[in-house]
Structure 1
Amino acid sequence: MDTQTDSPADTGINERIARCVRDLRATRGLTLDALATRSGVSRSMISMIERGAASPTAVVLEKLAAGLSVTMASLFGASGESAPVEPLVRRDQQAQWRDPQSGYTRRSVSPPNWPSPIQLVEVDFPAGARVAYETGSRENVIHQQVWVLQGRIDVELGSQRHTLHPGDCLAMRRDQPLIFSNPTSHAARYVVAICDMSGA
């Protein structure tokens, strides 16, 4: 949890995450305790996230996503039930979120809640940043590809390690622990294309 005071933009995205987690948990008929067991995130933390009272890290959100059988990108959905579902979203309307732990920023490029198995996310990854997703096996089959636009990132998927430079694209199936790191003194930028084969 970030100890710094949230900016208005942070507050807005935290409320959006809160609404998405609440709605997904209700849709799946899960209690707080059941989701805590499935995700490995404590009941108290889930409760704080659902109230918009916490700034969860990327690692925590990935665990929640796995417990809810969705992609992490799904937790940044439309800002409300009345929000129109449109095939076009302008850049200034795309949800942007900053991981309070690593400082990396992700922008949800795809139109929110559009009925498609494909989601695009743009990531700005600071120099020296590292994010380790512990989640391995999932109920849903998720494929993703990482396309580097600027800088260098190292990707560890299970026991495999890949060094990616501008123009490189790495395809993977999200069924093993995953680590992103930037060992350089320059920021990196990349796009992640995510495909949820379960249609969840």
Structure 2
Amino acid sequence: MYYVQDPETITAAIANNVRALRTQRGLTLDVLAARSGVSKGMLVQVEQGRTNPSVTTLTRISSALGVTVARIVEVSQAPVVRVVEGVEMVTFTQGGSAATLLVGTDAPMIHELWDWRLAPGTHHDGDAHTAGTREMLTVLEGTVTLVVDGRSHVVRRGDAVLFSADRVHRYANDGEDEVRFILVVAEPLATQDH
């Protein structure tokens, strides 16, 4: 079962957070577009709350801003100890697959904890993260085909893998049953030019 907060609330939080983070860093929309690889038009739509951006778009924006995706989708400010209830977690769905961002941190290093479900015959292509980024995953159900640098690695139920995620990568479900895995992203904070 997936717990999804009201989409309008999440869209508004994304809009406010992206705009606030961009202005805190003194970045124009043009500069953020150049750093993130996301078009200026899309950034305007995101900041005005007129679109529901994909995980890839959010990842590119967060990386360019030096924060986690969790920080961008965060609806409220986090206290020193943060318990994230299921109803607060954000789930992104596409083609019968779902990625739930369970929790994340910003500093001193970006960490994100994800619960992924891939429908049979589907995949997710991950962009190369900041240099030095590592990802770890463990498979809870099914078998994941992880492709890094064009080389496939089969990760079965009960197995875990650690890899350098500062290169293009793919998670694929080549089987007939749903795949579920837990993913941790550990990304160094990008140096910001002010």
Q: TM-score, normalised by structure 2?
A: 0.81
Deviations 1:179-198 (Å, cap 9, x if unpaired)? 12112221111111122333
CA 1:102–1:23: 2 relative to 1, 3 Å: farther
For 1:179 and 1:124, the matched residues in 2 are separated by: 14
Matched residues, percent identical? 23
CA 1:131–1:114: 2 relative to 1, 3 Å: closer
The CA RMSD over aligned residues, in Å, is: 2.6
Higher alpha-carbon deviation: 40-49 or 116-125: 116-125
**Paired residues, number:** 187
Q: What is the deviation of 1:150?
A: 0.9
- Corresponding residue for 1:174? 165
Q: Secondary structure at the match of 1:61?
A: helix
CA contact (8 A) 2:68 2:105 kept: no
Stretches of structure 2 lacking an aligned partner (at least 5 in a row): none
Q: Secondary structure at the match of 1:109?
A: strand
For 2:129 and 2:80, the matched residues in 1 are separated by: 32
- Corresponding residue for 1:153? 144
Q: TM-score, normalised by structure 1?
A: 0.79
For 2:154 and 2:53, the matched residues in 1 are separated by: 28
- Corresponding residue for 1:127? 120
Q: Which has the higher strand share?
A: 2
CA contact (8 A) 2:67 2:106 kept: no
5 Å matches for 1:50-129? 50-77=47-74, 79-80=75-76, 83-99=77-93, 101-110=94-103, 117=109, 118-129=111-122
For 2:63 and 2:117, the matched residues in 1 are separated by: 23
Q: What is the deviation of 1:94?
A: 3.5
CA contact (8 A) 1:109 1:122 kept: yes
Of 102, 114, 128, the match for 1:136: 128
Deviations 1:28-47 (Å, cap 9, x if unpaired)? 22111111111111111111
